[in-house]
Amino acid sequence: MSYEVLNEGNALGQVVGAKVADWQPPPRPDGRTLVGRFCSVCRLDVDRHGPDLFRANQRDREGRMWTYLPHGPFATYEAYEAWLRVSMASPDPYFYAICDQASQKAVGLSAYLRIFPDAGSLEVGALVFSPLLQRTAAATEAMVLMMAYAFALGYRRYEWKCDVLNAASRRAAVRLGFSYEGTFRQAAVIKGRNRDTAWYAITDKEWPALQAAFASWLAPANFAADGQQVQRLSDFMGQAETRA
């Protein structure tokens, strides 16, 4: 998905970027709860969410979900709680818990990070989806809720970055409508290993078509009585690309 930026010429005959009319930096995300049909996304509270998160994470007995993250796995709740308390106090990354709507238990973590209101840009990341959240409608809905909130605040650019070797994260970015923008080589050292970082983004001009696709996929009519999707998200994303 892409759109054309109409650049302009200045009085010196130089090409300059298009004007952004009435630009005002958006506010930073706050602690409000984002509520969907399958999940809610709320500000991380260690006392409320920590034990449920630890139990949910323990279902990943091999520790696969921590491989590409700079932190984890955590052998004890005490170690995990200590990390959560530092994370909860951080303004950037700004952490949220993802709670299953049916059980009301926390099953995953997410965050806004690299929050730059002056540029109108922020990133979604620090994603830790326990086995209870992976490959569920709630996982997709949580990402949609965070995306919608960022654009509603007035952000122009919504980013997703991951280790270039993290195939699952790269597939998720494309599935959610992000466009690949390139790879930053030797961008970081994570757990003693080199990380090349793949960059993806969605812009505010692309968001309306994506929002319509997400709404169609999340509609009750698209889910059978057993909770299985009728049409895949990719079916609706194809329609979004046609409209963009």
Q: What is the pLDDT of residues 19-77, one digit of tens each?
A: 888 899 999 999 899 999 999 999 999 999 999 999 999 999 999 999 999 999 999 99
Per-residue pLDDT band for 226 (boundaries 50, 70, 90) equals: confident
Token output for 194: 């080199």
3-state class (DSSP) for residue 106: strand
Residue with tokens 């990341």: 125
pLDDT tens-digit series, residues 182-200: 999 999 999 999 999 999 9
Residue 115's DSSP bridge partners are none
3-state class (DSSP) for residue 226: coil
pLDDT tens-digit series, residues 105-136: 999 999 999 999 999 999 999 999 999 999 99
**pLDDT given for residue 5 in this prediction:** 62
Tell which phi-psi region holds residue 82, choosing left (phi > 0), alpha (psi between -120 and 50) or beta: alpha
Nearest to 203 by CA among 126, 121, 125: 121
Number of domains in the chain: 1
Task: Enumerate residues 6+ apart whose C-beta is below 8 A from 160.
Answer: 123, 124, 125, 169, 173, 176, 178, 199, 200, 201
Nearest to 115 by CA among 150, 163, 141: 150
Task: Write down the pTM of the prediction.
Answer: 0.92
Range of the domain at 149: 28-204
Domain harbouring 94, CATH code = 3.40.630.30
User: Is residue 226 one of the residues assigned to a domain?
Assistant: no
Residues 95 and 109 sit within 8 Å (Cβ to Cβ): yes
User: Is residue 225 one of the residues assigned to a domain?
Assistant: no
User: Is residue 3 one of the residues assigned to a domain?
Assistant: no
User: Is residue 72 one of the residues assigned to a domain?
Assistant: yes
User: Is residue 178 one of the residues assigned to a domain?
Assistant: yes
The radius of gyration computed from the CA coordinates of the chain, to the nearest angstrom, equals 19
**pLDDT given for residue 19 in this prediction:** 86
φ/ψ of 143, rounded to 5, equals -65, -40
Per-residue pLDDT band for 2 (boundaries 50, 70, 90) equals: very low
Give percent of the chain with pLDDT exceeding 90.
86
User: Is residue 141 one of the residues assigned to a domain?
Assistant: yes
User: Is residue 209 one of the residues assigned to a domain?
Assistant: no
User: Is residue 78 one of the residues assigned to a domain?
Assistant: yes
